[in-house]
Chains A and B, each alone.
Chain A
Amino acid sequence: MLKFIVSRFFQGLLALFCVLTLTFFLSRFAPGSPYTDEKQIPLHIREQMKEQMGLGDSIVVQWAKSMVDAATGFQGPSWGNSGFSVREVIGQAFPVSISVGLSGLFIALGIGVPAGVLAAAKRNTKIDYSLMSIALLGICLPTFVIGPIFAAIFGFQLQWFSAVGWNQPTDFLLPSLVLGLYYGAYIARLTRSGMLDTLSADFIRTARAKGLPEWRVMIIHALRGGLLPVVNYLGPAFSALITGSFVVESIFGLPGLGTHFINAAKNRDYNLIQGTVCVFAILILTLNFVADLLQAVLNPRLRNVSETAD
């Protein structure tokens, strides 16, 4: 087990290195530069800016500097947010993104799993059909359709939540609900099909034959296997949640990582691009690792294989 964790850690570091290097060279070889502006900047000032930003060095030196900067925690300045280092910008944006993202994930699981279990338990009844129709509808209404509608209804008409900005602690509720509903619908469908697969297995029949109450069969015996497709989906879901958070942050005007990343890419704020990409990559790698661990916990067959392999 320890061996697995250590090897995954180094694999993650390697992936992180590749991501940052790729981002670096993509951004340097692209047309446009931080001092491209509508206003014509005089040549000597442009040279001065270039010097100050360290863009006068050779590309390899710049790359090495940027890697060192990443390793020491992004203390370089963010050119798009003058006076702030990349670290400070990320430090302010990270809590916003993580609270919206994680509560979105929990809402998705909290709605999706019970709905899927209920639909599987009441298979081919009105409850099943209506739950699955709602889930289907949810899948076909992406975040950027639901978001503005919810903002209009709950934010502007009913005034339950504020529809724009990040001013009070409850401001994360509406964005994370919008984020969670879409993935919740997807998870509901996955849970239902996983549960149906498990419910036809022999050990479920045994459990029923022992005279266990139905809820015990469902929750204690079937759910473990039934959740496997959901856990398999978690890895891609994390990446999708990050994409979704870009959309949600844009709809609700939240000062999160996604907003900063998109602005940084538009303004060629190289330092901030590296910083935000690094945070996203760490998040995805960590959460994928958690998903793999969960999978091993839920699936005994997989666990045995990994143990004999070690």
Chain B
Amino acid sequence: MEAIETAPEFAAAEKGSSLGKDAWFRLKKNRLAMICLWVFVAITVLCVGGLPAEKLGLIADPNAINLEDRSVGPSAEYWMGTDHIGRDIFSRILAGGRISLMVGFLATLVSMTIGVVYGSVAGFFGGRLDSVMMRIVDILYALPFMIFVIILTTFFGNKLWLLFIAIGAVEWLTMARIVRGQVMSLKKMEFVEAARSLGLGNWKLIFRHLIPNTLGPVIIYTTLTVPAVMLLESVLSFLGLGVMPPDSSWGTLIKEGADRMLTTPWLLIFPALFFSATLFCLNFLGDGLRDALDPKTSKD
């Protein structure tokens, strides 16, 4: 029984790696997508590396107030200037980036999990269950979801984990639709029949064989969800409903900058630059991945 159960997995792994290699090869040929990948990696490493750098004293503490150097423009000492109470903007951007990226990835993980499970169950069982589940998705699509996110975050306080859940609960709908479509076409294939004839239960079939085969579209859409989620988080933080002091995200930094835009423009420009560059890179990387993983649907 053991041997029989591992055999299809082994085959799937082999096929997966060759697909991955193919995709990586195609992605490498897409110069713009590769530049975006490296810029994004650089920004992430910079933000994450900011934490040990703070501890070692290489860059200033993002929350250290220094009333002698208030509103100083970009200089050799303060690369991106300081704000109205003398906090170093560069280290604040790195600290904010950690929060923004963390929210982006964790909330995407939440939405991906809900969407993949929901979509594969609907697609696999089909029939009445499927039509009810998809009808629910249709109705949810039409609901003013942002409003519920705002209600949740204002009522239950600004807890970071709540932000992940609230945003994740909003963004899973499209993922569910994509996965459902994939599963519906996959379930008619021979390998599913083979697995079933070996006596595999429905749930094992879904989680072991169907979901791993939807990986391509899921990866593409996940890459595109991360910037959407980061945008949502920044909007909330900008409205004063998301990340709260002493924590800061790129959204709160942009808000602080926007309030003092006329006297100290660097407070807005540098956080906006980091934020926009990250959005740009993730969007382009998503497009590049679509072309690499699924050459048939590439746009032109």
Residues of chain A having any CB pair with chain B under 8 Å: 11, 15, 18-19, 22-23, 26-27, 30-32, 123, 136, 139-142, 144-145, 147-149, 151-152, 156, 193, 196, 235-236, 239, 242-243, 246-247, 250-251, 261-262, 265-266, 268, 273, 277, 280-281, 284-285, 288
Listed in ascending order, the chain B residues whose CB lies under 8 Å from chain A are 139, 141-148, 150-152, 154-157, 231, 234-235, 238-239, 241, 251, 254-255, 257-258, 261-262, 265, 268, 272, 275-277, 279-280, 283, 299-300
Tell me if B143 and A23 are in contact (CB < 8 A): no
By a CB distance below 8 angstroms, the chain A residues around B276 are 140-142, 145
Assuming the contacts A145-B276, A262-B239, A273-B151, asked whether A30 and B156 have C-beta atoms less than 8 A apart, the reply is yes
- Please state if B261 and A148 are interface contacts (CB–CB under 8 Å): yes
A-B contact pairs, 26 of them (CB 8 A): A11-B139, A15-B142, A18-B139, A19-B143, A26-B151, A139-B283, A140-B283, A142-B231, A144-B235, A144-B258, A152-B261, A152-B262, A156-B262, A235-B142, A239-B144, A242-B144, A242-B146, A246-B239, A261-B147, A261-B150, A262-B154, A262-B241, A265-B151, A265-B155, A273-B151, A285-B142
A281 with B144, Cβ < 8 A, contacts A26-B155, A148-B261, A247-B239 known = yes
B255 close to A144 (CB less than 8 A): yes
| Given A15-B139, A156-B262, A284-B142; 13 other pairs, CB 8 A cutoff | A136-B280, A140-B276, A140-B283, A142-B235, A144-B238, A149-B268, A236-B141, A261-B147, A262-B150, A273-B151, A277-B144, A281-B143, A284-B144
Q: Are B279 and A265 in contact (CB under 8 A)?
A: no
CB atoms of B144 and A149 under 8 A apart: no
A156–B265 alpha-carbon span in the complex (Å):
13
A196, B300: Cα distance in complex, Å: 8
Task: Give, as a whole number of angstroms, the nearest-CB distance from A129 to chain B.
Answer: 12
What's the Cα separation between A273 and B155 when bound, in Å? Answer: 12
Note all chain A residues with C-beta closer than 8 A to B238. 144, 247, 250
In angstroms, Cα B265 to Cα A251, docked, is: 16
A148 to B231, CA, bound (A): 17
Report B10 CB to chain A, min CB distance, Å.
Answer: 40
Cα A261 to Cα B149 in complex, Å, equals 13
In the bound complex, CA of A251 to CA of B238 (Å): 10
Query: With A15-B139, A140-B283, A280-B147 given, is the CB distance from A145 to B254 under 8 Å?
Result: yes
* B258 adjacent to A15 (CB under 8 Å): no
**Taking A196-B300, A250-B238 as contacts, is the C-beta distance between A140 and B279 under 8 angstroms?**
yes
Contacts of A265 in B (CB 8 A): 150-151, 154-155
Residues of B within 8 A of A23 (CB): 147-148, 151
Instruction: Report if A144-B234 is in contact (Cβ < 8 Å); known contacts: A26-B151, A281-B144.
Output: yes
Question: Which residues of the other chain, B, contact A32 by a CB distance below 8 angstroms?
Answer: 155
Q: Are B144 and A19 in contact (CB under 8 A)?
A: yes
Q: Which residue of B lies closest to A136 (CB)?
A: B280
Tell me which of A26, A142, A266, A281 contacts B234 (CB under 8 A).
Answer: A142
Of B139, B239, B275, the residue contacting A145 (CB under 8 A) is B275
Which of B146, B241, B268, B283 touches A148 (beta carbons < 8 Å)?
A: B268
Partner of A27, one of B144, B146, B155, B300: B155
Cα of A117 to Cα of B9 in the assembled complex, Å? 48
Q: Beyond A140-B279, A250-B238, A262-B241, is A145–B148 a contact (Cβ under 8 Å)?
A: no
Measured between beta carbons, the chain B residues less than 8 angstroms from A15 are 139, 142-143
Task: For A151, list chain B residues within 8 Å (CB).
Answer: 261
CB nearest neighbor in B for A157: B262
Contacts of A284 in B (CB 8 A): 142-144
Q: Complex: how many Å from CA A31 to CA B155?
A: 7
